[in-house]
Amino acid sequence: MQKISSVSTALPKKPPLLIVDDDKAVARLLARVAERAGFDADVAKDGVQAVEMLDKKPYDIAIIDLMMPRMSGYDLVQKISTLQPRPVVLVATALMNGDVASLDDSMVRRVIKKPFDINAVAEALIETAREVAERRAATPLPSVTVIAGNATIIAKEANVVVPPPDETTPDDSAAPPPEKTK
């Protein structure tokens, strides 16, 4: 078997990848290539299952077959365009260029032609994952001002304003901590 490059040395965690293909053998092959290249790969058998999975977990990258039952890859790409954050879309197809031309260029990063060159697929995934990681690193987290006694802060910078306790302000330390919500 050919040696497949890996993204694991370039990125701190395994990038989540969604593979959407109704052909089990193709989906299994893509998942194996992706996992050997350092991805956390999940597989959906069609667009309907993919939408359900995308509602439950954010993916960095999605490889989508265009011709599937129940919901086509074309329709799935349109659904993905409404997500925030949305995965980078790679299309896997045996269709000709004219059939792929109807896809929104702003949504599809690249087209992978079937039959696959396994190393080309791995390289496309690794390159796309690096682009996603670089874009994330370049996007600054917002500055936040928090006015609270107990807070979880997810930001690059934060200003925390807590009024000092005095006679007119009840002591919050005796109160139970607020419930955590998801």
**Burial of residue 75 (number of CB atoms within 10 Å: 0-12, 13-18, 19+):** middle
The pLDDT value recorded for residue 1 is 47
From the list 123, 53, 51, the residue with the least C-alpha distance to 41 is 53
The pLDDT value recorded for residue 164 is 60
Domain positions in the chain: 16-138
Q: What is the pLDDT of residues 29-50, one digit of tens each?
A: 999 999 998 999 999 999 999 9
The pLDDT value recorded for residue 105 is 66
CATH superfamily label, 16-138: Response regulator (3.40.50.2300)
* Helix locations, the chain, DSSP H: 24-36, 47-56, 73-80, 97-100, 118-138
**pLDDT band at residue 51, thresholds of 50, 70 and 90?**
very high
**Burial of residue 66 (number of CB atoms within 10 Å: 0-12, 13-18, 19+):** buried
| Measured distance CA(182)–CA(172) in Å, rounded | 23
Q: What is the pLDDT of residues 58-91, one digit of tens each?
A: 999 999 998 999 999 989 999 999 998 899 999 8
Q: What is the pLDDT of residues 126-161, one digit of tens each?
A: 898 888 888 877 766 555 555 555 555 555 555 555
